[in-house]
A and B are shown apart, each in its own frame.
Chain A
């Protein structure tokens, strides 16, 4: 297509270097997310004992099983026998690779070997079957401890997702996030579109100044607004409620919305609007019948931006919504999980994936508009 392609084509070594570098970049950029996705489908024991990249290999697990209690022993040919399977109490099956009878040497014996402990002869087979034989009738109330190292096939499960969706409150938070996002995405669009039309096609004093103000407001740190708005909401009785966060998100999205839409609407062909004016259409009619339908791509761009921003927001939600069950959004919930249940990896992984799945789906479906919006939205330099 271009001269640069011709150069790349001329030198096969360079072409290979380019391909390899891009592969490397892509791998580096996707591996962290892939790790999370794979982790979220792994068994909770395996997730915290081995890396996700071993998810396909059998996992080694150490477990301490207790044999059946001595009163389960039966007499057989002058010996007292206790039999069972070490995997009975632990779910899942595996292959025993080693076992032991004391905590000091938990891998002393190979499966099938006979370990002696007191007058008892203990053996564990590869399939987990154990047999404890002794001459005296065993006494006591608790069984013998068996230390077993087993290889287990990788276990894949959707259990983590079931847990987080139905018992960890993520399902509820998902609804809360939806509740915040839908109005906060739609309401600013219309308000901004009217303002953008006025800034693009109507003559009035102070237009340039207003545009400058909008551009300035684009970069105002939200931190500047939080405390006054919180006090405002409290004093007029909104408090911490959805109405407050809808208003806040609408306002924080407006500068970008106005700027994006104005750039787009100002670029519409002058003839269309002028000829409509000549035909006697009012500005209101021109806006509704001509400008709004033509601006669909810009509206979509902004909608995606606002959707991603609101869905992923933590700061605004923490400040303007409460921490209770029917207001905690997903990012807030994730943050709580990170703090309180940092060790429960399977909960964390599945929750995180539930929360990022929606924006990623939107991202891949609407990438075209997102890119277009980015290109129009970044203040042009030089």
Chain B
């Protein structure tokens, strides 16, 4: 309870601190460069040049210290030894190129990158198209969307109950094996079977992300001009043709956005692998490998190198996003 009080106190102090900062900074500026007297015109111009930076200062300071500086520092760290102090040149990168686990992670990440965004977007698109047509659609949407609110670790516990494996002959308490046995198959240890276990871990993320894709794509589908659809109806197009040939091509832009957003998430995914397998049984991924080297390996140089690989993989999407926003701004 005591620490909740501390939290509330910090929150209040933080909010009041912010307000006080902005208030005092503005007052000081107004006092230093008064908008009256002989230099009124010059003062107003100067004050207007300074004021944006007063507004921006706290945000820029926090972003600078907590995001920009660490990124630059990580680049440096990737050229240092385990303690992050001695320059070792390209040693970490050479080690990385030859590391078995790294190759495994890279391969698995490639799989994740292909399967998860594609499947989530696909299911999201289907769910959006179907739920938009029925009266209880918003209720259905809410239920499909709900996993978004669940933490990756919580989701892992949920799916542990689905994937659980008991030896052949005993009662299965995992849903998947129960279904398999009921259909006449024999139970499998889904999570510990190398290679295929990757897909069962991916299912968890697809389960979480489909709702996100659905919500965005559903809004895009509703934004399609009616005339194009009416024209297709008049031309005698079937509902399926209308969907795939008329509607989907008009929302390519949004599909790309959904796809890239999920792609970024996939590159950073770590909780699911950590909680379900911790990278055993051939299921390691980059983010968890990095975590492993940081915490268990205690090697800051190698961990930073792996982080940098993730960063490099994200960079193309980052550039693409920035270009899109700039295009938007110019319009």
Using a CB–CB cutoff of 8 Å, the interface residues on chain A facing chain B are 2-8, 11, 14, 18-19, 21-22, 25-26, 29-33, 35-36, 39, 47-53, 175-176, 178-180, 182-183, 186-187, 190-192, 194-195, 197-199, 202-204, 207-208, 210-212, 214-229, 231-232, 242-243, 246-248, 250-252, 254-255, 258, 282-284, 287, 308, 311-315, 318-319, 326, 331, 334-335, 338-339, 342, 345, 348-349, 351-352, 355-356, 359-360, 362-364, 367, 370-371, 374-375, 378-382
Q: Are B11 and A220 in contact (CB under 8 A)?
A: no
B233 in the interface, Cβ–Cβ < 8 Å? yes
Enumerate B163-178 residues with CB–CB distance to A below 8 Å. 171-175, 178
Give Cα distance in the complex from A126 to B125, angstroms: 57
New A-B contacts (10) at CB < 8 Å, excluding given A223-B307, A227-B304: A25-B126, A25-B130, A195-B59, A199-B56, A224-B311, A252-B67, A326-B3, A334-B151, A364-B142, A375-B216
Q: Which of B126, B159, B175 has the largest count of A CB atoms less than 10 A from its CB?
A: B175
B19 in the interface, Cβ–Cβ < 8 Å? yes
Could you say which of B88-96, B193-201, B253-261 contacts chain A?
B253-261
When distances are taken between beta carbons in the complex, the residues of chain A under 8 Å from B14 are 183, 186-187, 246
Q: List 28 A-B contacts (CB under 8 A).
A: A4-B242, A25-B123, A50-B173, A51-B174, A52-B175, A179-B6, A186-B14, A187-B11, A191-B18, A191-B58, A191-B59, A214-B63, A215-B322, A220-B67, A221-B314, A226-B70, A227-B74, A227-B304, A228-B70, A228-B77, A251-B66, A254-B59, A284-B23, A314-B274, A334-B157, A334-B275, A364-B146, A375-B216
Q: Are A51 and B133 in contact (CB under 8 A)?
A: no
In this complex, what residue of A is CB-closest to B263?
Answer: A219
Give Cα distance in the complex from A49 to B132, angstroms: 42
CB distance from B4 to the nearest CB of A (A): 6
Q: Are B150 and A359 in contact (CB under 8 A)?
A: yes
Q: Are A32 and B162 in contact (CB under 8 A)?
A: yes
Give Cα distance in the complex from A21 to B307, angstroms: 41
Known: A356-B154, A374-B216. A381 touches B67 (CB 8 A): no
Give Cα distance in the complex from A318 to B317, angstroms: 28
Using a CB–CB cutoff of 8 Å, the interface residues on chain B facing chain A are 1, 3-4, 6-8, 10-11, 14-15, 18-19, 22-23, 26, 30, 48-49, 51-53, 55-56, 58-60, 62-63, 65-71, 73-74, 77, 84, 123, 126-127, 130-134, 136-137, 140, 142-154, 156-162, 171-175, 178, 207, 210-212, 215-216, 219, 226, 229-230, 233, 239, 242, 252-254, 256-258, 261, 264, 267-268, 270-271, 274-275, 278, 287, 290-291, 294-295, 300, 303-304, 306-308, 310-311, 314, 317-318, 321-322, 324-326, 328-329
When distances are taken between beta carbons in the complex, the residues of chain B under 8 Å from A197 are 55
In this complex, what residue of B is CB-closest to A47?
Answer: B173
Q: Are A194 and B142 in contact (CB under 8 A)?
A: no
Q: Are A217 and B63 in contact (CB under 8 A)?
A: yes
Q: Are A314 and B310 in contact (CB under 8 A)?
A: no
Contact of B325 among A7, A211, A342 (CB under 8 A): A211
When distances are taken between beta carbons in the complex, the residues of chain A under 8 Å from B60 are 195
For the complex, would chain A's binding face be called helix, strand, loop or mixed by DSSP majority? helix
Q: Are B271 and A36 in contact (CB under 8 A)?
A: no
Q: Are A246 and B62 in contact (CB under 8 A)?
A: no
CB distance from A55 to the nearest CB of B (A): 11
When distances are taken between beta carbons in the complex, the residues of chain B under 8 Å from A247 are 62, 66
In this complex, what residue of B is CB-closest to A367?
Answer: B142
Q: Are B7 and A242 in contact (CB under 8 A)?
A: yes
Total number of A-B contacts with CB less than 8 angstroms? 369
Q: Are B171 and A49 in contact (CB under 8 A)?
A: yes
Q: Which of B6, B74, B317 has the largest count of A CB atoms less than 10 A from its CB?
A: B74
When distances are taken between beta carbons in the complex, the residues of chain A under 8 Å from B160 are 338, 342, 348
Q: Are B324 and A224 in contact (CB under 8 A)?
A: no
Q: Are A248 and B66 in contact (CB under 8 A)?
A: yes
Give Cα distance in the complex from A351 to B126, angstroms: 34
CB distance from B229 to the nearest CB of A (A): 5
In this complex, what residue of A is CB-closest to B74?
Answer: A224
Contact of B56 among A25, A195, A363 (CB under 8 A): A195
Q: Are A221 and B267 in contact (CB under 8 A)?
A: yes
Give Cα distance in the complex from A21 to B216, angstroms: 20
CB distance from B121 to the nearest CB of A (A): 13
Q: Are B326 and A212 in contact (CB under 8 A)?
A: yes
Q: Are B303 and A379 in contact (CB under 8 A)?
A: no
Give Cα distance in the complex from A178 to B3, angstroms: 9
Contact of B322 among A212, A227, A319 (CB under 8 A): A212
Q: Are B134 and A331 in contact (CB under 8 A)?
A: no
Q: Which of B130, B216, B229 has the largest count of A CB atoms less than 10 A from its CB?
A: B130
Q: Are A22 and B158 in contact (CB under 8 A)?
A: no
Known: A19-B134, A224-B308, A367-B142. A381 touches B53 (CB 8 A): no
Give Cα distance in the complex from A187 to B195, angstroms: 44
Q: Are A179 and B154 in contact (CB under 8 A)?
A: no
Q: Are A338 and B275 in contact (CB under 8 A)?
A: yes
When distances are taken between beta carbons in the complex, the residues of chain B under 8 Å from A179 are 3-4, 6-7
9 A-B pairs with least C-beta separation:
A382-B253, A251-B66, A312-B151, A363-B149, A195-B59, A381-B253, A225-B70, A228-B73, A198-B55
